Amino acid sequence: MRPSPAAAPAAELAADHAAHARCVAWVTARVDDPVVGLFGPDSAAWTMIREPAYLFGGAAAVLLQMALPSVVAGVSAYSTFETDLVGRIQRTSQALYNLVFGTLDVALGTSRRMHAIHTQVRGAVDEPGSPHHGRPYRANDQALLSWVSLTASLTGRAAFEAFVRPLDPGELARDWEDLQRGSVVAGVDPDTLPPSRAALLARFDDVVENSPDLWVGPKARTVARVLFSTPLSRGVFDPITTTALLPPRLRALYDLPWGPSEQRTYDRRRRAFAALRRVAPPAVRYVPAWHQAMRRVALHRGEAGSRWAQLLDLASARVVLPASLRPAATARR
C-alpha cells in the first residue's frame, strides 16, 4: 500500500510550482511551431528516439537512477514498479513519446502531469548505511529531476550509438539543444544547466566516477532483481545489454559481471541487430509515434501524409498500440 504523503509546506509547494511554470515558459519561447512540437523532424531527438534501439538504454537508466538513494526511496514507496513492471514501462514510454513526438500542447500537458504526480512523492530515505539515510526527499527536488532526466537521455543516446550508428558532427550540435529542451520540459530549471554539451557530459562522468552519493543497497538491488527476472529480460532489459551500457563503477556497485565472454555476446548481439535493421522496411524500422508525428507535420504543411501513418492513427484510436501517440496527439489542427 502506498503511504499517504505528508502535506508539503505551502512555501515549498509554491516554489516548486513556480519553478515548473518557468520551465514551461522557457520551452514555449523556443518552439517555432506548436504543431510540430518541441523538437521536429530535423532534430537529433527525432532521429534517435524513432529507433526501437533507443529503449535498450532504459534498464541502464533505471539502475543509474536507483543508485541515488533519494530516488529509489520514492520509487520503493510510491511506484508500482514491483507489482506492475509492464504497466510502468508502458506509461513511461508513452510519456517519452508524448514529450518528443507530440504537439507542444501534448508535450506540456505530459510535463504538467509528471509535475503533479511528483508533487505527491515525498518522504525520508530509510536505508541504513546509505549516505542519505534519514534525509528528506521529494520528487520535484531539482537535483533529483536533473539526475533522472540526464541518465535517461544519456543511456538512450548510448544505446542509439551502440546499436544504430554514432551521431555525426551536425547531430551532436543539435543534440545539445535537444538535451536542454528535454531536461527543461522534465522540470529542470534552465538556469542550472551547464554551458555546453561537453560540460554536461563532464558533470555526468564526475558523478558516476566519484560521487559518494551513489550507493546501491537492498532497495536498488530489488529493482535490479525485478528488471532481470521477467520475460522482458530476454529483450530490452537483458542483463548483458544493460551492463554494457552502464559505467564500470555502476557495474561494480550492482555486482554485474563483465568480461570477455559478456563482451563477445554483446558484440554478436549488436551485429545481429544491425543485420536485422538493414533488411527491415522503414514502416517497421521506426516506432509508430514517429510515423504519426511525421504525418501530422506533413498535413500541417499542406503535404500528403503517409498511408502507413494513417493506418497507425486509425489503429491507435481503437486499441492501445505500443510506442504510438494517442489520437488526440495526432489530430490535425
Give the tens place of pLDDT for each residue, 245-256.
Answer: 999 999 999 999
Whether residue 237 lies inside any domain: the answer is yes
Domain end among 207, 226, 261? 261
Q: Provide the pLDDT for residue 233.
A: 63
Mean pLDDT of the chain: 91
Does one domain contain both 128 and 69?
A: yes
pLDDT value at 110 more than 60 = yes
Distance spanning both ends of the chain, measured CA to CA: 42
pLDDT value at 320 more than 90 = no
Band of the pLDDT at 3, cuts 50, 70, 90?
low
Q: Provide the pLDDT for residue 329.
A: 40
Contact present, 117 and 110 (Cβ < 8 Å): no
Band of the pLDDT at 234, cuts 50, 70, 90?
low
Does one domain contain both 162 and 225?
A: yes
Does one domain contain both 322 and 224?
A: no
Does one domain contain both 304 and 177?
A: no
Mean pLDDT of 156-171: 96
Does one domain contain both 226 and 314?
A: no
Q: Provide the pLDDT for residue 7.
A: 66
Residue-wise pLDDT tens digits, 284-300: 999 999 999 999 999 99
Domain range enclosing 156 = 10-261
Q: What percent of the chain is modeled with pLDDT above 90? A: 80
Band of the pLDDT at 82, cuts 50, 70, 90?
confident
Residue-wise pLDDT tens digits, 187-233: 999 999 999 999 999 999 999 999 999 999 999 999 999 888 877 66
Does one domain contain both 251 and 333?
A: no
Contact present, 27 and 181 (Cβ < 8 Å): yes
Whether residue 266 lies inside any domain: the answer is no
Q: Which residues contact 278 (CB under 8 A, 6 or more apart)?
A: none
Q: What percent of the chain is modeled with pLDDT above 70? A: 94
Whether residue 201 lies inside any domain: the answer is yes
Whether residue 1 lies inside any domain: the answer is no
Give the residue carrying C-alpha cell 550509438. 161
Whether residue 272 lies inside any domain: the answer is no
pLDDT value at 147 more than 50 = yes
Whether residue 5 lies inside any domain: the answer is no
Whether residue 106 lies inside any domain: the answer is yes
Contact present, 90 and 35 (Cβ < 8 Å): no
Contact present, 37 and 112 (Cβ < 8 Å): no
pLDDT value at 98 more than 90 = yes
Whether residue 109 lies inside any domain: the answer is yes
Does one domain contain both 299 and 169?
A: no
Domain count, the chain: 2
CA atoms within 13 A on the CB side of 233: 12
Q: Provide the pLDDT for residue 79.
A: 83
Burial 255-273 (b: 16+ CB within 10 A, else e): ebeeeeebeeebeebbeeb
Question: What is the distance between the alpha carbons of residues 92 and 86, in angstroms, rounded to a whole number?
Answer: 10
Does one domain contain both 32 and 144?
A: yes
pLDDT value at 326 more than 80 = no
pLDDT value at 328 more than 80 = no
Give the residue carrying C-alpha cell 514517429. 290
Q: Provide the pLDDT for residue 331.
A: 38
Domain end among 261, 293, 309? 261
Q: Provide the pLDDT for residue 85.
A: 77
Domain end among 261, 296, 316? 261
Mean pLDDT of 27-51: 97
DSSP secondary structure string for all residues of 70-123: HHHHHHHHH--TTT-HHHHHHHHHHHHHHHHHS-HHHHHHHHHHHHHHHHT-EE
Does one domain contain both 257 and 284?
A: no
Does one domain contain both 187 and 307?
A: no
> What does the block give as the cell for 292?
504519426
Does one domain contain both 244 and 314?
A: no
More confident residue, 317 or 118: 118
pLDDT value at 235 more than 90 = no
Does one domain contain both 56 and 171?
A: yes
For CA atoms 45, 49, 54, 60, the dihedral sign is positive
Where helices occur in 193-302 by DSSP H, the ranges are 197-210, 218-227, 239-244, 248-253, 260-279, 282-285, 288-300
Band of the pLDDT at 305, cuts 50, 70, 90?
confident
Q: Is 230 exposed, middle or buried (0-12, 13-18, 19+ CB in 10 A)?
A: middle
Q: Is 42 exposed, middle or buried (0-12, 13-18, 19+ CB in 10 A)?
A: exposed
